[in-house]
Amino acid sequence: MLRRSSRIIILFGFLAVLFACGPTLQPPSISRQQLEQEADLQRELLFKTFTDRSVRLQRIYAPLKIANADLCGSNISPATGIIGIDQQSLPANLRQSAQRLYGVNDGVTIIDVVPNTPASEAGLQPRDVITGAARGAGTMPSGWTWSSLTVADLVKVLDGPADTPITFLIRHGGSVSPVVMHPRVGCNYPIQLIPGDDFNAFSDGKRIVMVNGLFNHVPDDREIAVIVSHELAHNILRHVEKREGNAAAAGAGGLVFDIGLAVLGINTGGAFSKAAMDAGARAYSQDFEYEADYLAMYMLARAGFDFAAGPDLIRRMGAQHPSSQVKNYFSTHPSTPERAVAMTETIREIQAKVSREEALLPKNLEGQALPVNTAIAQSKSPVVLAGQTQPAMPTTTAAPQSALGFAPVTQTTPPSMNSPAPVPATVVTTQRLFAQLYLIKGPVVSDPPQVFKGEFLPSGKVQVVLGRRLLTGDFELVGLTDPITPKHGPSLIKPETFKVSPNSDAKGFAALSDDTGMQLECVYSLTRSNGRGDGTCADNQRNTYRIIFD
């Protein structure tokens, strides 16, 4: 009996000690509604972070893609500088966040415009909406009202010859207007940001893949540019094709599966693609890595980036991962000291070529040659290294494909275009300019709108055909800072309230009439070097037109 009582006392003593190890304080209780709200908040924060990083990536890749298009052979595509997103491509639980953060509703909403690209030159802005698009300067797409246009639809329109103009319907505020854009040429290796915490980036011969976690370790966009150019070099040099048994393509398949699940809200942690990426990491020999570093330095210089960030990045990697400092013949990459020294020597080589005014192309092995598209190369302006005086019209600008939209940065941007120099009060043009007038407002407006033709002659005379009417008159062109003082006092339009387009260097006014009493007035801005511009016209029949010079 005493023995049993002892056991009972011991048991109760053990329970007392056990419960004495429990919590001491009483935190506030949490409701299910609070948890759901917090989960929504964190989901929106993740979406914004991922979107902002995608935009940064596009801004970095754009000048690299454009400036090195001549190295990409026939694998080129149009580049506009638009970064957009559409509601239909997003999972349902992110659509409200997209609308709240970026104004995404119908059509393709522009969330950013890459500087010094056709999109920025056309005056497009974030929160503008693309409601329609079609190839050709005179082709009118549908989409003047509510639009179901998606990024995928837009990519189909852009997928064609890079030298063909594209007509976009742009909704800005409450009005829709056509914008004719002349894309530039860029390498056709789309860049994609994917979810994941890994410090990783790779190329599969068709695209460049950056893992979201890389931004946590490399916050400097100059260093991101080094990584992007290195992966672009792997694709240009066709390293995947040259390496038999390469597993990188298999990794891409795994990534597609992971991305699909992540969009649905299921986080696999990259389980499907980690094994493939590990195999893909062994795809490149040390010689290939040296070669990619070498070409990457040239591409950074051609695009106006600070290529001194290359050796700096490698040194920092060596400091953070000491094992990479030791040469290992079984490793896929050279040691970090070898890479940093090789990059430094490449920088000296590039600087010497610039001082001798030689073409910025890497040296070829005997009997080998890096293919160069001479047609694109001849159209480029001279290369100016980062830190030197920038020419007035740099070509190191661009646009691309985005993981969240299309194209598809502390933010490094391409060298900005200088402000246009003042021009005389009276500007003389020797060009014969052609314009299209789109009827966008009036008693009778169609969808798509009616399009009329205009011609501006070097003599200062202008004529416009409106249906069966031929209107003739005069126009004058002045500098941006000079007031328009029309010979014929304007009565239908106010030139002083007109806002000129970005990168234009002159503005003008035209007054026309016919023998029936019809009158038309136009105010517009132009870039005289290419004869492109846009503006507004109004007639005395209560009609308003968008005029586009092309």
pLDDT in the model for residue 326: 57
**Fold topology of 433-549:** Lipocalin (2.40.128)
* Confidence band of 221 (pLDDT split at 50, 70, 90): very high
Mean pLDDT value of segment 107-112: 92
Of 240, 223, 246, nearest in space to 189 by CA = 240
* Mean pLDDT for all residues in the chain: 77
Question: Rounded to 5 degrees, what are φ and ψ at 265?
Answer: 90, 10
Choose between 218 and 445: higher pLDDT. 218
Comparing C-alpha atoms, which of 514, 520, 526 is closest to residue 540? 520
Per-residue confidence at 293, pLDDT binned at 50, 70, 90?
A: very high
- Report the range out of 140-144, 172-176, 182-186, 417-421 with the highest average pLDDT: 182-186
Q: What is the CA radius of gyration of the chain?
A: 30
Q: For residue 496, what are its two tokens? A: 């002083």
Q: What is the C-alpha end-to-end distance of the chain, expressed in Å?
A: 107
Query: What is the Cα–Cα distance from 143 to 179, expressed in whole angstroms?
Result: 13
356: three-class secondary structure by DSSP: coil
Sign of the C-alpha dihedral computed for residues 437, 443, 445 and 450 taken in this order: negative
**Of 148 and 282, more confident:** 148
Identify whether 400 is preceded by a cis peptide bond (ω within 30 of 0). no
CA distance 260 to 274: 15
pLDDT score for 182 = 87
CB 486 within 8 A of CB 495: yes
Residue 501 has pLDDT above 70, yes or no: yes
Number of other CB atoms surrounding residue 285 within 10 Å: 15
**114 touches 397 (CB < 8 A):** yes
pLDDT tens readout for residues 228-246 = 999 999 999 988 877 754 4
pLDDT mean over 278-302: 78
pLDDT tops 80 at residue 474 = yes
For the chain, give the number of residues: 550
**Residue range 380-431, pLDDT digits in tens:** 555 555 555 333 333 333 333 332 233 322 333 333 333 333 333 445 455 7
Averaging pLDDT over each range in 24-33, 324-333, 358-367, 463-472, which range is the top one?
A: 24-33
Please determine, for residue 262, whether its predicted confidence score (pLDDT) is greater than 50.
Answer: no
DSSP sequence for 184-201: EEEES--EEEE--S---E
- Decide if pLDDT at 152 tops 50: yes
- For residue 260, what pLDDT band results from cuts at 50, 70 and 90? very low
Using CA atoms, how far apart are residues 327 and 335, in angstroms rounded to an integer?
Answer: 5
Find the mean pLDDT for residues 27-48: 91
Q: Report domain extents, the chain.
A: 433-549
Which stretch, 155-169, 368-382, 400-414, has highest mean pLDDT?
Answer: 155-169
CA distance 421 to 419: 6
Contacts (Cβ under 8 Å, ≥6 apart) of 189: 65, 72, 75, 203, 206, 207, 208, 232, 235, 236
Which of 4-18, 161-175, 195-209, 479-493 is the least confident region?
A: 4-18
Least confident span in 10-19, 124-133, 510-519: 10-19
**Looking at this protein, which amino acid is placed at residue 182?**
H
Evaluate if residue 527 carries a pLDDT over 60: yes
Distance CA 176, CA 130 (A): 9
With pLDDT > 70 as the criterion, what percentage of the chain qualifies? Answer: 74
* Average pLDDT over every residue of 18-39: 84
17-31, 32-46, 204-218, 303-317: which has the minimum mean pLDDT?
A: 17-31
Distances (CA, A) of 55 to 369, 411, 482: 35, 10, 37
> Contact at 8 Å (CB) between 309 and 343?
no
DSSP 504-534: --EEEEEEEE-TTS-EEEEEEEEETTTTEEE
Three-state SS for 479? coil
Instruction: Report the distance separating Cα 56 and Cα 259, nearest Å.
Output: 20
Determine the Cα–Cα distance for residues 445 and 339; give it in Å rounded to an integer: 64
| Cα 230 to chain centroid, rounded | 19
Alpha-carbon distance values, 123 to 73, 79, 81, 128, 398 (Å) = 31, 16, 11, 10, 15
Q: Residue 168's CB: how many other CB atoms inside 10 A? A: 25
With CA atoms as reference, report the closest residue to 499 among 525, 527, 533.
Answer: 525
pLDDT, residue 246, reads 45
pLDDT of residue 69: 92
For the beta carbon of residue 399, count every other beta carbon within 10 angstroms: 32
pLDDT at position 545 is 92
**pTM of whole model > 0.75?**
no
Structure tokens at 428: 């003389």
137 with 165: CB under 8 angstroms?
yes
Mean pLDDT of 111-120: 89
CA dist 196 and 383 (Å) reads 37
Q: Are 112 and 407 in contact (CB under 8 A)?
A: no
Integer angstrom CA distances of residue 454 from 373, 467, 473: 37, 12, 11
Buried b (16+ CB within 10 A) or exposed e, 234-266: bbbbebbeebeebbbebbbebbeebbeebeeee
Q: Which residues contact 447 (CB under 8 A, 6 or more apart)?
A: 142, 144, 145
Q: Which of 42-56, 278-292, 406-420 has the lowest mean pLDDT?
A: 406-420
CA distance 497 to 510: 15
